[in-house]
Amino acid sequence: MFLVGLSGGIASGKSTVVAVLRELGCAVIDADVIAREVVQPRLKAYQQIVHYFGPEILLESGEINREALGNIIFSHPEKRRLLNSITHPEIQKEMLKQVLKYFVLGYRYVILDIPLLFETKRLTKFMKHTVLVYCDPQTQLARLMKRNGLSQAEAEARIASQLPLDEKRRMAAHIIDNSGDRESTRQQLHVAVTVPRHYSTSSLDWKTPH
């Protein structure tokens, strides 16, 4: 069994790629989903976040207001680093549990969908392959403005808070260019993923380009 690290940037279309991979029968572990799960009330990360960021980042229900917290960390890099130091260990523990689950189920490989794969760099050494979902800067900006209802300045600030896609592109072993439509992306994934005629979840393989 081996691991494939998948990453992208804000509004690069990684969710589209993940959806296609799952249609092909791939096992995908979503770090964003796990990140929401580990900050539920009464859990360790939740308690630490409330301690450091204060009760003003809570909703009336007691859950963390992700939008309010997001606004804080986007404008304060040191607070973003603090939040990451709280959540990342808990996220990684849960991801390991899920990897072991798929190993027991007989999957040949597992794709780890990790937004900060190239920023943190700690996890890349565990990946047999690293894959970046890329799109050109103009498309990224337009998608983010439309998706989140942001002004151009707001969208540019969000994009600037992340490592540029062109820099991530130099770090990745494989590139999926998602600048076009879904069908174009699907065709690229069919090249990257082997799907035997009578496949099972344990017989998929990731091709290494020549």
pLDDT digits (tens, 9 = 90+) for 72-131: 998 898 999 999 999 989 999 999 999 999 999 999 899 999 988 998 888 899 999 999
| CA–CA dist 166, 86 (Å, integer) | 28
pLDDT digits (tens, 9 = 90+) for 129-170: 999 999 999 999 999 999 999 999 999 998 998 999 999 999
Say if residues 20 and 186 touch (Cβ distance below 8 Å): yes
Angle formed at CA 167 by CA 165 and CA 171, multiple of 5 degrees: 105
